[in-house]
Structure 1
């Protein structure tokens, strides 16, 4: 047994996989949701923990102290398409309160925080972004993630405890929610398979937009490796595939997997602003932690369709 890990956001898309990976790696995991409900026999966070749009760092610190020496994993985060108030609450206010609680508890051994590729801002086409790149977020979502991480960075230095920042690029794979192009593609193809449709029509204004797509199981694997080797004082790693994949290429894989062709309808209404090309340099995670991507895009598509459609045999 490696010790205790407290995972915040353990019921979310990434948090569930992170908790499973840490448990499989020998950690004794406690998962906590935003309302203070905990798993792993820990009971609930006592006291006035959550009220409206804020949390009590005092009540949270008591909970952490009761858990004893532990590694803290923050997998809480609002997706960038959520409304501004929720983004600020989950991406700024929450990590601020968590940082305060970690300092107050005096029992934190290390902190791992799930950040976002949007903290880097716009990236130059053809130039993979590395962890040493200057953070220059341009979207409110990216700014919120960078601000939230800054509270944990300052707390880590004051506590003299290691902090690891895992900046996740576009996370895909089985169990995704309802937002983003990945979830939309899964939903469209699941519906098409169930209905026996002969074509999928997707609203994609800019199909050549490219993102670095990484399976959630690979992100969880990186977090687990980083938990084994905390340090230096503040370390950062890109959780990414190292490949820029266009939306068109993504749909090509769905079409190949299901045998159902697609057509893009280019409706620009409600188009979100963001970089048209993203790709990460993953050298640091490979060289320092020995991390390697295990799941291809085809693997992710197959797993997501099997999970959501519930008919893997029908999908070949």
Structure 2
């Protein structure tokens, strides 16, 4: 029996593959390499280049490798890009997920873990947001992920399929052993951009909005270390294998850091006082997006071990330096 990881050449997917391999699992990766990297996939995993919506390919992989669980990361994830290309996002995130689910249901795969997002909540308030909050996504990206959650719930009601959907908050950091990290060129994540700026890859960084109703006027976000996030997926897999019910869970620490706190942490740890430019708010940015994450702890037994901003920053900076060395070679 094996686990299929879609998008296993990407940022979170590559960490997931490492965690599964470390746990002694047999792993198969399916990735079209549109944004991921072949070199990022652990050598112990079987790699297949292809599209998750290719039903024939998925069926062959399931049969050849006795797939009993799928962890689905393959998606497009940039919110502003989704606004400019909504149909592309509905194709990549919703239509292709539907095709993948159909192939898996036909093959009788019983377990499915889905990479969802806090973007399904939309413009949340200052208080931590729980899984039962009103779902009002404001971007095609968030809507495309919510549609996939609905499809999963309906499929699980109709077929012998059980699932866990994990709603990520702000994923950051890198593998503490330096084996993987955020490698996408032109990435827009705050910590990635800040680390690139600290290492001289960018001339400065821009902060959008300093007049939010937060302690320092900048946006608050719940940053979760990528290794803790993939540990939540392992807990979800254990839960499903033990006969646990389908469920939806927030993945965050329940504590927010402001944009300025993140930048000050990067400056302190890197030793570089890089330029910061202040600009007006961007449309659609909530003041705070922080998880209420007690459900995943209670029901899946998740116990994060890297709930610490300096740890997140150090691993991200270390990976950025390793990435430079890799590119130099």
Q: TM-score range by the shorter chain?
A: 0.7 to 0.9
2:81 matched residue in structure 1: 82
Cα distance change, pair 155–66 in 1 and its aligned pair in 2 (3 A): farther
Q: Is the 8 A contact 1:237 1:282 kept in 2?
A: yes
Residue aligning to 2:119? 118
Q: 1:160 touches 1:233 (CA, 8 Å); kept in 2? A: no
For 2:214, the equivalent position in structure 1 comes to none
Asked whether 1:217 is paired with 2:217, we answer no
Within 2, Cα distance between the matches of 1:154 and 1:40? 35
Distance 1:97 1:40 in 2: 28
Rounded to whole Å, the distance in 2 between the matches of 1:222 and 1:267 is: 36
Aligned pair partner of 1:249 in 226, 245, 261? 261
Gaps of 5+ in 1: none
Quote the offset at 1:245 in angstroms.
1.0
SS of the residue aligned with 1:149?
A: helix
How far residue 155 of structure 1 moved from its aligned partner, in angstroms, is 2.0
CA contact (8 A) 2:21 2:45 kept: no
Residue 185 (structure 1) aligns with: 194
Contact 2:53 2:99 in 1 (8 A): yes
8 Å CA contact retained: 2:29, 2:47: no
The CA deviation at 1:21 is 1.1
1:1-316 pair list within 5 angstroms: 3-34=1-32, 44=48, 50=51, 55-79=53-77, 80-83=79-82, 84=85, 85-106=87-108, 108-125=109-126, 127-174=127-174, 175-176=181-182, 177=184, 178-191=187-200, 201-207=204-210, 208-230=218-240, 232-268=244-280, 271=282, 273-295=284-306, 296-310=308-322
Q: 1:73 is paired with a residue of what secondary structure?
A: strand
Q: Distance in 2 between matches of 1:114 and 1:186?
A: 25
Distance 1:262 1:92, change over 3 A: same
State the Cα RMSD in Å. Answer: 2.7
In structure 2, stretches of 5+ residues that fail to align are: 175-180, 211-217, 325-329
* Cα separation, 2, equivalents of 1:232 and 1:211: 30
Aligned residues: 295
Is the contact made by 1:69 and 1:109 (CA closer than 8 Å) also made in structure 2?
Answer: no
